[in-house]
Every structure is written in C-alpha cells, then in structure tokens.
Amino acid sequence: MIALLVVLAALGLDRFLGEWPNRLHPVVWMGIAVKAAERRAPTAGRAAPFIYGLAMALILPAACGATAWATVSLPLVGPILAVLWLKSTFAVRALGVAGRGVSGPLATGDLHGAREGLRSLCSRDPRALGPDELAAGAVESLAENASDSVVAPLSWFVVGGLLGSGALAPAVAAAVAYRAVNTLDAMVGYHGRYEWLGKASARLDDLANLVPARLTAVLLLVGGAGSGASVRSGVTTMVRDRGNTESPNAGWPMAAMAGLLGVRLEKPGHYALGSGRAPTAADVEVAWIIVVRGLGVGGIVGGLALGWAGW
C-alpha cells in the first residue's frame, strides 16, 4: 500500500501547496540542465544538432530518473523523498490557477491581463490574440495539460512499478524521467531554430504521451457527463478531429473538450477542432470543471487499482 499512500500524499501536497519554490523545484533544475546543454549544442547543418539533441533526449531523462531512483532507495527517508519527487511531476493546482488567470480578466474585458495569463498556460504568443482566441487557447491548454500535469506522470509511475515488480523506486524514477522528457520537449522540441536539435525530444515526448493523451480524452468525456456538457458531441468531435493537430496526441483531449463545450477551437493556419461557436471566458471555467471531474474519476480508479494490486 506504500505506493498508493505516496501518490495520495503527493497529490495532496500539490492540491494544498501548489508549486515548489523555483530553487527547490526539480523541474526548474531540469530546465537549467537543458539550458546548459543547449548553450553547447552545435548549430551548423542537420546531423550534428540532431545527434547532440538525441543525446540530450536520452541522457537527461535517464540521469533524472536514476537520481530519483537512488534517493528513493535510501533507508528511512526513501518514502518521504518519493512523495517530494512525485509531487514535483504534478501541476494540477498550477493549471487551475493559470486557467483562472485567463478567464477572470477575460470576463471583465481585460485583454492585457488575459494575454499575460495565457503565457502561463502555453507557448503561443498572445500579443495579437482577441477574446475568442484567448479563450480558445486557454480551453485547449487546460485539456492538453491535463495529461502532462497528472495523467501522464501517474501512468508512467504505474509502468515503472509494473516493470519494477511493484517497487517504489522504479515507479518514481519513471514518473520523473517522463517529466524530464516533457521538459525537454517544451524547451527545444519545436520548429524554428530547434528543428533538428529538438527533433528527438519531440518524438520521444510523442511516444511517452501516446497512451496518456488518449486516456485523458476518455477521462474528460467522463468528467463532462456530470457537467451538462454533450458527451455524444464530445465523442463525435474527438473521433472526427483528433488528427487535425500536428501532434499525434494533443488532438485527442482538445477535440474531446471542443465537442463537450460545443465550441470551435482554432489556431489559424494550424488546426481547427469542433464546429460550434467561438469559446468565451465562461467556457474556460466549464473546461476546468470538466478537467477536475475527469481527473477525480481517474484518481479514484487508479487508487482502487493500486490498492487492489497491493502497492
């Protein structure tokens, strides 16, 4: 039952404390390591940046996972460190705060405040976005980040535990390694100057989120069932539009959310999900409610599974 207690404690810390201070946050340390490696990366050609980026994508997550494994394996303090490590992979409270950072100002017509709030949710440049686009960006980010913020790290926690015969150290190590992969993708895994340096990180992140993103979409549909949303529309839109995004994963939860809310989520020149009206600040609030309910159901089911397995 130790694994279940660790998960519950980590989620509780995230719920009541939010993010660690930057100086104590392992994800911030990961970012510092990525920046240090990036400064030394070759920039000429394709092969050299790609090989260097591949090394980054393999070594950094492995090093982070190994560090977590070693510390969680320590006698007496291991379970406490497991809670602290696992909590750092979650960002549920921060996700809700960021969502309200867009919906609140948007509801009062404060576009500048809403634009600043969106910066906390996604990497999209918000300076030229209007109310509809700001609301759409917030709804999309809440849906997609529901996976990154809790479903994916918990999924990899379970995978690590299964591979490690139920041991706590490999379970935590897998969740931490996932967070390192996700951090790499967020920092270098996109087009432009990082086209070749970040290609391996982006593909590894796609692979790591393959199952969690689809599981998140299902949980959002379940969460929408009790919120007045149209689950049927959510399923239809998810099935129809899930492949409209460049990412093989992001389209699943975002399309499901678009259908649930009956809105059209669009990033001009990139994708369009759903065929309804333009989203509003109120839709951002409803999206957050759906996320919370969906994650709650997932947490209950996951907890029962861990308890049944005797972890």
Q: Output the tens digit of pLDDT for each of the chain's 311 residues.
A: 788 999 999 999 999 999 999 999 999 999 999 999 999 999 888 999 999 999 999 999 999 999 999 999 999 999 999 999 999 999 999 999 999 999 999 999 999 999 999 988 887 788 888 999 999 999 999 999 999 999 999 999 999 999 988 899 999 999 999 999 999 999 998 767 778 999 999 999 999 999 999 999 999 999 998 777 889 999 999 999 999 999 999 999 999 999 999 999 998 888 999 999 999 999 999 999 999 999 999 988 888 888 787 78
pTM: 0.94
Q: Is 11 exposed, middle or buried (0-12, 13-18, 19+ CB in 10 A)?
A: buried
Residue spans of beta strands (DSSP E) within 160-206: none
pLDDT given for residue 239 in this prediction: 97
Dihedral in degrees, nearest 10, Cα atoms 146, 148, 154, 155: 100
Q: How much is the pLDDT for 99?
A: 95
With vertex at residue 194, the alpha carbon angle to CA 193 and CA 198, rounded to the nearest 5 degrees, is 175
Helix (H) or strand (E) holding 135: helix 131-146
Per-residue pLDDT at 123: 75
CA 119 vs CA 68, 114, 127, 133, 279: distances in Å: 30, 9, 10, 13, 18
Q: What does the alpha-carbon distance between residue 247 and residue 269 come to, in Å, rounded to a whole number?
A: 14
State the residue for tokens 């996972």.
65
- Residue 189 pLDDT: 82
Closest CA to 225 of 289, 166, 162: 289
Quick one: tokens of 147?
Answer: 């996976």
